[in-house]
């Protein structure tokens, strides 16, 4: 009873969590034929350094009149001031985003979601497995780790794309490959250019190249198309990485980002506030986390 009276009688005035702030697109360029890269900063530049977020979080992005949808953040908070996104042309909102030019504005609110458990990951070996668009949230994590390199153990980055033309951040990852404090393995399913110098084959083929792994001391982070999870999970479990140390970030329909609209519900969890980062241990309990069939196979 007491609690409710507080709610009703002493309501503190709070900001509207649905209120988008206007941000300016300061840079955009194509990553592939249907994926664009965007950099944005608040229209009010004094706000630029106030955006605190962690790798794995997302924002709700609006174009007035076109609607609003969740997008993961591809930049790292260790390089503050700008937010970066990779956006694939998929529907109405993303098509409108493709038409936006530099200096036009979009609405942004957030950040939302639970993020990768950076505190727990510090001091551990890290394995990041990115397939296709899955690189979008994982780039944030990878860059964050590289920017704070001495706080983490061995870092391995596995990246799979359909073909060289579909690979996101191609130049960036080829540069990262040169670093001696990162084991960066890149593969394409198929090389249709004849010029590809890295591995060919599904992302799981990269697992054969991994040296010995201190599995109990390793956190793995995975993101990719649903079909990829099944095979990657099998490999990670085989390596002996504890299930609660296998992290994945998920996509769902969202209309609010703050646990109200219901669309991203999975049993008693909301992807927006309890996720989007979940562990493989969660998946074993929550049958719908990575889709029916997929999780059944993983369990078997």
Partner 1 sequence: MMILKMKKEDLPAFLESAKEWGELWGPTTKEGQTAYSKVDGLSQMDLKATRTMIPPKKFLYPPRFTMFDFDEEGFVERTGDVPKRILFGLHPCDIHGILIMDKLFLETYKDPYYAERREKTLLLGHSCIPDDKCMCFATNTDFVAEGFDLFFTDLKMFYLVWVGSSRGHDLVRMRADLFSRNLDKNDILNYTEYRKWKTAQFKAKIDLTGMPDIFELGYNSPVWDELAEKCLSCGQCSMVCPTCNCYNVVDEVELGTAEGTRDRFWDSCMFREYSVVAGGHNFRDKRADRLRLWYTHKLQAFIGEFGKPACVGCGRCVSTCPVDINVATVSKALKEQEVGK
Q: Could you list the residues that contact partner 1 (CB under 8 A)?
A: 1, 4-5, 7-9, 11, 14, 16-22, 62, 64-69, 88, 90-91, 93-94, 105, 107, 226, 251-253, 255-256, 258-263, 265, 267-268, 273, 287-288, 291-292
**Nearest by Cα to 222 from 289, 291, 125, 128:** 128
Three state DSSP letters for 185-201: EEEECCCCCCCCCCEEC
Residue with Cβ nearer partner 1 (130 or 290): 290
Q: How far is the CB of 155 from partner 1 (least distance, A)?
A: 30
3-class SS of residue 138? helix
Helices (H), ranges, the chain: 2-9, 92-99, 118-121, 135-147, 170-176, 226-239, 280-285, 294-299
Label residue 233 exposed, middle or buried (CB < 10 Å: 0-12, 13-18, 19+): buried
**β strands within 18-133, DSSP E:** 21-30, 35-42, 58-63, 67-72, 83-88, 105-112, 125-131
Strand 125-131 to strand 155-161: parallel, antiparallel, or no bridges (unpaired)?
A: parallel
Q: How far is the CB of 209 from partner 1 (least distance, A)?
A: 31
Sequence-distant (≥ 6) Cβ neighbours of residue 161 within 8 angstroms: 131, 132, 167, 168, 186, 187, 188, 189
Does the CA dihedral 219-225-228-230 come out positive or negative? positive
Residue with Cβ nearer partner 1 (7 or 240): 7
Sequence-distant (≥ 6) Cβ neighbours of residue 117 within 8 angstroms: 247, 277
Residue with Cβ nearer partner 1 (20 or 164): 20
Residue with Cβ nearer partner 1 (142 or 264): 264
Residue with Cβ nearer partner 1 (177 or 255): 255
Residue with Cβ nearer partner 1 (22 or 239): 22
Q: How far is the CB of 44 from partner 1 (least distance, A)?
A: 11
Strand 105-112 to strand 199-200: parallel, antiparallel, or no bridges (unpaired)?
A: unpaired
Q: How far is the CB of 8 from partner 1 (least distance, A)?
A: 6
Q: How far is the CB of 300 from partner 1 (least distance, A)?
A: 13
**Nearest by Cα to 60 from 252, 221, 269:** 252
Residue with Cβ nearer partner 1 (171 or 268): 268
């Amino acid at each position: 009873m007491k609690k409710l009276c507080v709610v009703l009688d002493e309501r503190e005035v709070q900001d509207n969590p649905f209120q988008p702030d206007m941000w300016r697109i300061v840079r955009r360029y194509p990553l592939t034929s249907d994926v664009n890269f965007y950099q944005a900063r608040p229209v009010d530049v004094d706000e630029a350094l106030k955006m605190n977020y962690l790798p794995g979080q997302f924002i709700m992005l609006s174009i007035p009149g076109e609607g609003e949808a969740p997008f993961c953040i591809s930049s790292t908070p260790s390089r503050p001031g700008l937010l970066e996104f990779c956006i694939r042309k998929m529907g109405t909102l993303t098509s409108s985003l493709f038409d936006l030019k530099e200096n036009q504005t979009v609405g942004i609110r957030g950040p939302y979601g639970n993020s990768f458990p950076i505190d727990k990951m510090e001091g551990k070996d890290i394995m990041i497995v990115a397939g296709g668009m899955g690189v979008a949230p994982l780039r944030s994590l990878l860059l964050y780790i590289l920017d704070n390199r001495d706080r983490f153990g061995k870092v391995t980055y596995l990246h799979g794309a359909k073909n060289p033309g579909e690979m996101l951040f191609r130049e960036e990852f080829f540069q990262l490959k040169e670093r001696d404090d990162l084991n960066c393995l890149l593969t394409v399913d198929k090389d249709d250019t004849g010029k590809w110098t890295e591995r060919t084959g599904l992302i799981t083929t990269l697992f054969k190249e991994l040296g010995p792994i201190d599995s109990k001391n390793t956190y793995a982070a995975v993101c990719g198309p649903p079909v990829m999870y099944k095979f990657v999970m099998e490999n990670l479990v085989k390596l002996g990485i504890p299930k609660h140390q296998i992290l994945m970030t998920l996509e769902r329909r969202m209309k609010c980002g703050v646990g109200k609209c219901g669309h991203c519900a999975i049993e008693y969890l909301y992807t927006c506030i309890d996720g989007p980062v979940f562990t493989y241990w969660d998946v074993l309990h929550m049958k719908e986390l990575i889709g029916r069939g997929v999780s059944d196979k993983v369990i078997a």
